[in-house]
């Protein structure tokens, strides 16, 4: 784990430490400047490049990249980008066991988990394996400077969601709780600072630090209702990942509040508010984040099916899950109502 400003300079040494000499460089179109910096540092080690990563890791894209990896005999993966690019890297590592060096450019936190969500035939399936966990993560705060404010907000709330659900996880433990509470207070402090000044490097550093903390929570303990709903809405209705997390989080928290009063009190304290769910909603509106599923393009007629899918397979959650209850939650999220 490497964290700081200008840490990209250490990427070549990391690749060599992992025994790599033929790099497949993965990146997305909006991070071409960051990818150019990595290319510069890696020099002749870059053997091939692939810039086609897509949200929710479609298996068809993975197969395309896998073919390039095989024809170029790449022996190391270097991924520069958000969770989608990290997801592609993980999908390739799962199939080849090649080492990965990941440079995250958002706050999704995927780089520190051994979990991969892949989409095939309209369903997102999650799996976990040691081969999926990247060997090296290089956090360079500089690489997050280009993330537009709107995406910084939604990605920051995505990180917040990992920390929130860790605190009421059936597997929660005191060490992970500490990481989660630290992440929550950093996000609550950094998002308004960034909204006031999008070039605030301390706020960017706080957010990336929080992303690492929150990603560690996600990789350490099981998540609940909120992640299940977002996974369902992303995989089956094509909704965008971080935006969906942002809209759904206050509603999932309001639903779970009566089942996890102690966790909600600690979350509220870390946020510096009286009520955790309403506090998260207010934080989002104060930094102009999205609050309604209808704004994200979800059809009202799909809410019932979304609710059915979200409770179709049982999983641990602090409060019992019913189709009617989740349908009501999704209706509130669709309209963008502030939790009471
Ligand atoms: P993303 O990677 O799709 O990025 C969103 C958009 O932001 C893209 O267009 C990208 O090019 C652009 N972008 C990224 N960084 C940028 C930067 N610094 N400057 C300008 N533009 C930038 O979105 P995401 O929210 O980071 O990741 C979502 C994906 O990650 C989903 O598929 C989700 O399932 C997965 N994910 C997985 C885990 C896990 O542990 N398996 C955890 C979190 C997210």
Start-to-end C-alpha separation, the chain: 41
What residue owns the CA closest to ligand 1's atom 14?
A: 82
- Distance between CA atoms of residues 248 and 270, nearest Å: 20
CA 324 to ligand 1 centroid distance, Å: 31
pLDDT of residue 123: 79
Report CA dihedral (78, 194, 264, 104) to the nearest 10 degrees. Answer: 0
Mutation pick for ligand 1 pocket among 35, 36, 54, 82 (CB with most ligand atoms within 8 Å): 82
> Cα separation of 339 and 334, whole Å?
12
Nearest to 217 by CA among 147, 267, 150: 267
Residue from 29, 36, 87 whose mutation best tests the ligand 1 pocket (most atoms within 8 A of CB): 87
- Is there a contact between 271 and 188 (Cβ–Cβ < 8 Å)? yes
CA–CA distance, 77 with 217 (Å, rounded to integer): 25
- Both structure tokens of 335: 């309209």
User: Which of 36, 56, 84, 90 is the best mutation target for the ligand 1 pocket, counting ligand atoms within 8 Å of the beta carbon and taking the most?
Assistant: 84
- Distance in Å, CA 148 to ligand 1 centroid: 13
**ipTM of this predicted structure:** 0.99
Instruction: Note whether 24 and 220 are within 8 A (CB).
Output: no
For residue 210 the two structure tokens come to 């929080």
- For residue 34, give the ligand 1 atom closest to its CA: 18
Residues in contact with ligand 1 by the CB-under-6-Å rule are: 28-31, 55-57, 81-85, 87, 105-106, 108-110, 113, 115-117, 143-144, 146-147, 151, 155, 158, 218, 241-242
Q: Which two tokens stand for residue 142?
A: 């500089």
The protein residue whose alpha carbon is closest to atom 28 in ligand 1 is 83
Smallest CA separation from ligand 1 atom 6, residue: 82
Number of the ligand 1 atom closest to the C-alpha atom of 219: 40
Best CA proximity match to 140, nearest among 34, 1, 6: 6
Q: How far is ligand 1, taken at its centre, from the CA of residue 81, in Å?
A: 7
Query: Is residue 138 a contact partner of residue 175, using CB atoms and an 8 Å limit?
Result: no
* Domains, in order of start, for the chain: 2-144 (3.40.50.1970), 149-335 (1.20.1090.10)
Query: What is the block-wise mean pLDDT of the chain (340 residues), using blocks of 10 residues?
Result: 98 98 94 97 98 93 98 98 97 98 98 94 88 98 97 98 98 98 98 97 98 98 97 91 98 98 98 98 98 97 96 94 97 97
**CB within 8 Å of 1: residues ≥ 6 apart:** 112, 136, 137, 139, 212
Gap from CA of 308 to ligand 1 centroid (Å):
27
Cα 284 from chain centroid (whole Å): 17
Within the chain, how many helices (H) and strands (E) appear?
13, 8
Q: Specify the residue for token string 């349908």.
A: 327
- The reported pLDDT for the residue numbered 235 is 85
């Amino acid at each position: 784990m490497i964290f700081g400003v200008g840490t990209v300079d250490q990427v070549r040494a990391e690749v060599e430490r992992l025994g790599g000499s033929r790099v497949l460089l993965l990146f997305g179109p909006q991070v071409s400047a960051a990818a150019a910096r990595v290319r510069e540092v890696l020099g002749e080690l870059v053997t091939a490049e692939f810039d086609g990563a897509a949200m929710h890791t479609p298996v068809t894209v993975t197969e395309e990249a896998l073919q390039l990896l095989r024809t170029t005999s790449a022996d190391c993966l270097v991924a520069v980008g958000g969770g989608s690019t990290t997801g592609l890297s993980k999908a390739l590592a799962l199939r080849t066991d090649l080492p990965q060096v990941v440079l995250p450019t958002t706050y999704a936190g995927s780089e520190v988990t051994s979990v991969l969500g892949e989409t095939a035939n309209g369903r997102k399936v999650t799996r976990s394996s040691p081969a999926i966990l990247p060997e090296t993560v290089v956090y360079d705060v500089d690489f997050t400077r280009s993330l537009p404010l709107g995406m910084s907000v939604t990605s920051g709330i995505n990180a917040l969601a990992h920390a929130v659900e860790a605190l009421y996880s059936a597997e929660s433990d005191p060490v992970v709780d500490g990481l989660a509470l630290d992440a929550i207070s950093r996000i609550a402090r950094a998002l308004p600072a960034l909204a006031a000044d999008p070039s605030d490097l301390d706020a960017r550093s706080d957010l990336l630090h929080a992303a690492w903390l929150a990603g560690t929570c996600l990789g350490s303990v099981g998540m609940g209702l909120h992640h299940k709903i977002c996974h369902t809405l992303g995989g089956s209705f094509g909704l965008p990942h971080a935006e969906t997390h942002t809209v759904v989080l206050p509603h999932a928290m309001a639903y779970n509040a009566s089942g996890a009063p102690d966790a909600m009190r600690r979350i509220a304290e870390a946020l510096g508010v009286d009520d955790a769910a309403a506090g998260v909603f207010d934080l989002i509106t104060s930094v102009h984040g999205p609050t309604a599923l209808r704004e994200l393009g979800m059809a009202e007629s799909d809410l019932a099916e979304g609710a059915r899918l979200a409770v179709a397979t049982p999983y641990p959650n602090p409060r019992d899950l019913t189709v009617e209850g989740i349908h009501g939650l999704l209706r509130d999220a669709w309209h963008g109502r502030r939790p009471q």
